[in-house]
Amino acid sequence: MTTNNHPHSLPSSTDVLRIQLPNGITVLARANYSSPSVTLSGYLEVGALFDPPDRLGLAEFTSLALMRGTAAYSFDQIFDLLETAGASFGYNGGTHTTGFGGKALAEDLPLLLHLLNETLRSPTFPAEEIERLRAQILTHLAIQAQDTAEIASLTFDQIVYAGHPYSQPEEGTPETVNRITRQDLVDFHQRNYGPRGMVIAVVGAIEPQRAVDLVAEQLGDWRNPAQPAPIQLPPVTPLKQQVSRYITLAGKSQADLIIGAPGPKRRDPAYYAAALGNSILGQFGMYGRIGDVVRERNGLAYYAYSSLSGGIGPGPWYIAAGTDPQNSERAVELIIQEIRRFTQELVDPDELADSQANFIGHLPLSLESNSGVAAALINLERYELDLDFYLRFADLVNSVTREEILEVARRCLNPDRLGIAIAGPRRKFEAASQKQKTEGR
């Protein structure tokens, strides 16, 4: 392995050190001496999939509570340490994993790792801090409940993932969050947090072996014999017909809609065909075909784009748009027409070539910062890719054919079996119907 003095080169086995510690922690380290800073990033194999049905949001709550106090430090002391060093560090919850990340001068990497060790292994979950955190979570949920885009997204998940863990909100509901006790947090942490499957990336002005040694000093002796295995997802049951749901939120002036279905997993061989197809459908340029038809040519949306969320499981492939409520149904019609065309015709060769060039050109730009490289290294482990994956990326992208895009589009985006979720104000015909009922009584 050589020392990396070219931060814009693609990470590979020549400049990335990958070591798995005896307790199961995988460490990835890459040097970049173009700045004196370092980025620490990673995840543990515990997430919302571990939430009990009556305690939805428990994994998220636990991850946010880790920084609220440890055996050695109070909440204020933790942030005083970070502020004094000009550093940052924190956690975030997810469906499959709990993530963490921070930045500091390279000389302060030991501090970040010390705080990672403290917060992971000896959080105290102070009662007063837990109640403050609960209030913040409930406030966020209350705000979310009045956000048409958020409600459309939650409703969409309930439609296309009915009966599947992906249908459940990671942050829980006001009812389930209020039900969570301090002891629930303590028990969840003791039972589920452990080193097996944990991944840590360190990128910046530090020699890679030194970074690995520092991680081992702090976390190499961590064990949790009770740590459960990752939860295996059940299959998703595809919709047998188109399913639509309109959620009414009083006092809103905009309707937000989401249309789509489960897409391929990140490890699916068809993922890159889907990713390039998604770029053509609703990303490239002014948001692809969807942006052109719905927003530019017909003026029916404030925004319109498509998104592919391929991950460990079959994340959604959807089109989102924000419209005047009077235009939402027409926007849905146009989007479904465009999806139908997308699943019936080969994409234009120029469309594919442009998206391929965009993908290949974007990769080095995403690796210009330590944070970008750390995220790229984390993805290698998350999706079981080898260290030289990014060297093959251009060939992989350029090998995708128009026929492969059509095939994966037909598999995932059947226009007659889509989930459609819309959240907005009461529609005029609903208001008129309600008026008639009232006058008839």
DSSP 88: E
- Give the pLDDT band (50/70/90) at residue 427: confident
pLDDT digits (tens, 9 = 90+) for 9-48: 899 999 999 999 999 999 999 999 999 999 999 999 999 9
35 to each of 7, 140, 398, how far by Cα in Å?
Answer: 10, 37, 33
Distance in angstroms (rounded) separating the CA atoms of residues 273 and 284: 15
Query: What integer is the mean pLDDT of 189-206?
Result: 98
Mean pLDDT for the stretch of residues 126-147: 98
Tally of residues, the chain = 441
* DSSP conformational letter for 344: T
Please provide the DSSP assignment of 111-147 as one string: HHHHHHHHHHH-B---HHHHHHHHHHHHHHHHHHTT-
The C-alpha atoms of residue 63 and residue 92 are separated, in whole angstroms, by 6
- Each residue of 243-275: pLDDT tens digit? 999 999 999 999 999 999 999 999 999 999 999
CATH number of 243-432: 3.30.830.10
Beta bridge partners of 257: 321, 422
293 C-beta neighbours (distance < 10 Å), count: 20
Q: What is the topology classification, in CATH, of domain 17-219?
A: Cytochrome Bc1 Complex; Chain A, domain 1 (3.30.830)
* Neighbouring residues of 243: CB distance < 8 A, sequence distance ≥ 6: 159, 418, 419, 420
For residues 249 and 151, is the Cβ–Cβ distance under 8 A?
yes
Terminal-to-terminal C-alpha distance of the chain: 82
Q: Is the pLDDT of residue 438 over 70?
A: no
Would you say 400 and 276 are in contact if contact means Cβ atoms under 8 Å apart?
A: yes
pLDDT tens, residue by residue, 155-183: 999 999 999 999 999 999 999 999 999 99
For the record, the structure tokens of 18 come out as: 């990958």
Cβ-contact 30, 16 below 8 angstroms? yes
Give me the chain's average pLDDT, please. 94
400: Cβ contacts below 8 Å, ≥ 6 apart: 272, 273, 276, 352, 356
Q: Which amino acid is at 312?
A: I
Strands (E), 231-383: 243-248, 255-262, 303-308, 316-323
204 neighbors 377 (Cβ within 8 angstroms): no
**What number of H helices and E strands is found in the chain?**
16, 11
Question: What is the enclosing helix (H) or strand (E) of 260?
Answer: strand 255-262
Domain ranges for the chain, please list them.
17-219, 243-432
> In the predicted model, what is the mean pLDDT of residues 40-61?
98
SS3 content of the chain, % helix, strand, coil (to 5): 50, 15, 35
Is the confidence at residue 430, as pLDDT, over 70?
no
What are the tokens at 173?
């509901």
**pLDDT band for position 8 (cuts 50, 70, 90):** low
Q: List the structure tokens of 312.
A: 């460990």
